[in-house]
Amino acid sequence: MPSLALDRRKALIGVTAALVVPQVVVAQAALIVTPGQTEGPFYPVTLPTDRDADLVRVQGQAAQAVGHITHVSGRVVDKRGEIVRGAMVEIWQCDANGVYSHPGDSGQRRRDAAFQGYGRTNVDGGGRYAFRTIRPVAYPGRTPHIHFKVHAPGAGVLTTQMYVEGEAQNQRDGVLRGIRDVRARQSVIVRLDPAGDIEPGSLKGTFDIVLNL
Ligand SMILES: [Fe+2]
């Protein structure tokens, strides 16, 4: 006859297995692939001379860009959550006046010359990228967004856009609403939080990019 102690041990093993198995399943589940979005008409015709990951400062200029400084960072991963080595991330967005650095944007005279408008960076050894930019603003017909292009060696290019959680115009934005799958749409909407730990008065948000690999 099995002893009471052995029964208890078996019961404990059963409980432990019940706790562990679902976690393993979750860890192996595929992540939501970041949906592609239109490049739009304002990808730079010529890249700025200063094209680093700090869009708030343009080399050689004393002025800092107008806008709410925002640190956007994240990781570039595959569907299993493994980092994608060697990825390069580009972003571009309009300035605080809603004007892109692009000849096709009719607002060039109102453009904030202290805003870089475009930046690029390579992911680090942990698959992480980071930009210092401004909180995106709305312009006629669009809710606030930041354009992204992610280049992964051997995996082509993902073009997409990042949005800000809580923006009323998100509900009416045709490009964002064009992502029919609710979870995929949610995956490109980022919460911005105060980031006084990084820089006084700034915001931060995490946008992880999942490639279809
Ligand atoms: Fe845009």
CA of 91 to the centre of ligand 1 (A): 11
Mean pLDDT of the chain: 90
CA 154 / ligand 1 centre spacing (Å): 27
Between the CA of 106 and the centroid of ligand 1 the distance, in Å, is: 14
* All residues with CB under 5 Å from ion ligand 1: 40
Measure the CA–CA gap between 210 and 80, rounded to whole angstroms.
Answer: 9
Using alpha carbons, select from 213, 171, 208 the residue that is nearest to residue 190: 208
- If one compares 5 and 182, the residue with the highest pLDDT of the two is 182
| CA of residue 55 to ligand 1 center, whole Å | 16
**Residue 19: is its pLDDT beyond 90?**
no
- Distance, CA 47 to ligand 1 centroid (Å)? 16
Q: How far is the CA of 139 from the centre of ligand 1 (A)?
A: 8
Residue with tokens 């730079």: 44
Express each pLDDT in 25-74 by its tens digit: 445 568 999 999 999 999 999 999 999 999 999 999 999 999 999 999 99
Quick one: which of 36, 33, 134, 131 has its CA closest to 91? 131
